[in-house]
A and B are shown apart, each in its own frame.
Chain A
Amino acid sequence: MNCLDFRRLLLQDPFRNDADLLEHEAQCAQCATFAREQRAQETRLRAMLGEITPPPELAENIRLAVKLDRRGRSRRRVWYATAASVLLIVGATMLSLVTETWERGNMALAQSVLNHIDDEAHHLREAGPVAGQRVKFVFARFGARLNGDIGQVNFAAECLMRKRNGVHLVLPGVQGPVTAFFMPGEHTERVLPVSSERFAGHVVPTAWGSIAVVGEHGEPLEGLAQKLAGAVEWPAPDSGLVGGISTAPLIAQQ
């Protein structure tokens, strides 16, 4: 071992006691002095660092910090659980309110259909067929196009249903006149029954709103709403025309 190797090893660890290291130290006076100085410095360094004593409360503070952390976490868990419960209750209440509102809306729509028929019962007595051009014109006011054959129409007009305008048709039925309402913007998720002492029918959802078909009790209405829906082409919901009407003047109704 030469002096360079000796000093390198000694500076890596001053207290190493490899045989060849000790042998070189015994043979080289300069390296022996270097080693003594280095070990003395190392001893001072170790003493300086090693004699520092932590404050007596350190361990207790650590335990306390851990306890507080556990409590905090436990409290957070309780808080999260409470928050989740509150959210669940709020969510359920909201859902209930929405459902109730929706149901009320459905009932209100069905009732509005019946009220409208009662209020304009005189249209049920219209006997003569309306010209096809007139029917097309009424639909055209909504941007809709009558493409198919919907049979004889005894009355066709634009009318106000709740807050929106729609198309009011009266068709001849088996038991008596059948009323059909095309109600753009009046959305319903399912088929709604419409029933009163005299009338029965349903409201059928469509992409653009809904169609109500109502006749005398016993009137065969199956498939009629679907037939009507298929015969009329309504503008896309985002065209701005659904639920609204064109500004073209409406010629005399009927």
Chain B
Amino acid sequence: MGQLNEQFDALVRALSPELYRYAMGMCHNPDTANDLVQETFLRAWRSQHTLRDVKTARAWLYTILRNEHARLYERQRPDVRDPAHLPAVPVRGYDASSEAFALRRALKSLERQYREPLLLQIIGGFSCREIGEMLDLKPNTVLTRLFRARKALRAMLEDSEPARVGELT
């Protein structure tokens, strides 16, 4: 393996777990998440020559996965599991508590524009500026969406009526 291939292999080892979690957060389906991550790395491999700085590889991979997920939705409606049910295949670390099911269901209920920045912040640990770059949004817009996402989640989990997002804005 050449140096670049070793770097790529290192990226697979280091980033495939969190990309899988990100994919699971978006589709709630272990099989689809698996496919998404594999396809993400495959696309990254094919266009690795476009990666100028290895330091940006992480954000790059998240973006590829996000695009791949969007593409999947364009082609077909993937089998998105009802987060209130256990996944068809066992998932290690899958919290089967009723609290976790409620959280998953609330997360799934979020509009994509709110769920995406939230997942990127929680799973990826990206800053508002980085999320803004990935989603092509201004940092202030990202902050607003994060605020609305958590407010809506909180409202749903309190078993209240749907959150009146923007109440505090």
Binary A-proximity of B17-49 (CB < 8 A = 1, otherwise 0): 100110011000010011001100110011000
List which B135-169 residues lie within 8 A (CB) of chain A: 143, 146-147, 150-151, 153-154, 157, 168-169
Partner of B147, one of A8, A52, A69: A8
Task: Tell whether B91 is near chain A: CB-to-CB under 8 Å.
Answer: yes
Q: A45-B103, A45-B153, A69-B45 are in contact. Are A62 and B12 (CB under 8 A)?
A: yes
Which of A11-19, A100-108, A155-163, A233-241 interfaces with chain B?
A11-19
Binary B-proximity of A53-86 (CB < 8 A = 1, otherwise 0): 1110011011101100100000000000000000
- With a cutoff of 8 Å between Cβ atoms, the chain B residues found around residue A52 in the complex are 20-21, 24, 91-94
Q: Is the CB of B92 within 8 A of A53?
A: yes
List which A19-75 residues lie within 8 A (CB) of chain B: 37-38, 41-42, 44-55, 58-59, 61-63, 65-66, 69
List which A137-185 residues lie within 8 A (CB) of chain B: none
- With a cutoff of 8 Å between Cβ atoms, the chain A residues found around residue B143 in the complex are 12
Shortest distance in angstroms between A40's beta carbon and chain B's nearest beta carbon?
10
Q: Is the CB of B41 within 8 A of A44?
A: no
Binary A-proximity of B104-148 (CB < 8 A = 1, otherwise 0): 100100000000000101110000100000000000000100110
Q: Is the CB of A54 within 8 A of B16?
A: yes
Interface residues on B, range: 35 or more
- With a cutoff of 8 Å between Cβ atoms, the chain B residues found around residue A58 in the complex are 16-17, 20, 34, 37-38
Task: Tell whether B99 is near chain A: CB-to-CB under 8 Å.
Answer: yes
Q: Is the CB of A66 within 8 A of B147?
A: no
Partner of B21, one of A7, A42, A50, A66: A50
- With a cutoff of 8 Å between Cβ atoms, the chain A residues found around residue B24 in the complex are 49, 52
Partner of B123, one of A11, A50, A69: A50
* Total number of A residues with any Cβ neighbor in B under 8 Å: 31
Shortest distance in angstroms between A3's beta carbon and chain B's nearest beta carbon?
10
Q: Is the CB of A49 within 8 A of B123?
A: yes
Task: Tell whether A251 is near chain B: CB-to-CB under 8 Å.
Answer: no
Residues of A whose CB lies within 8 Å of any CB of B are: 4, 7-8, 11-14, 37-38, 41-42, 44-55, 58-59, 61-63, 65-66, 69
30 of the cross-chain contacts (CB-CB < 8 Å) are A8-B147, A11-B154, A11-B168, A12-B147, A13-B146, A14-B150, A41-B103, A41-B150, A41-B157, A42-B150, A44-B100, A45-B103, A48-B104, A49-B24, A49-B119, A49-B123, A52-B24, A52-B91, A52-B94, A53-B17, A53-B92, A53-B93, A54-B16, A54-B33, A55-B92, A58-B16, A59-B13, A61-B38, A62-B12, A63-B9
Residues of B whose CB lies within 8 Å of any CB of A are: 8-9, 12-13, 16-17, 20-21, 24-25, 30, 33-34, 37-38, 41-42, 45-46, 91-95, 99-100, 103-104, 107, 119, 121-123, 128, 143, 146-147, 150-151, 153-154, 157, 168-169
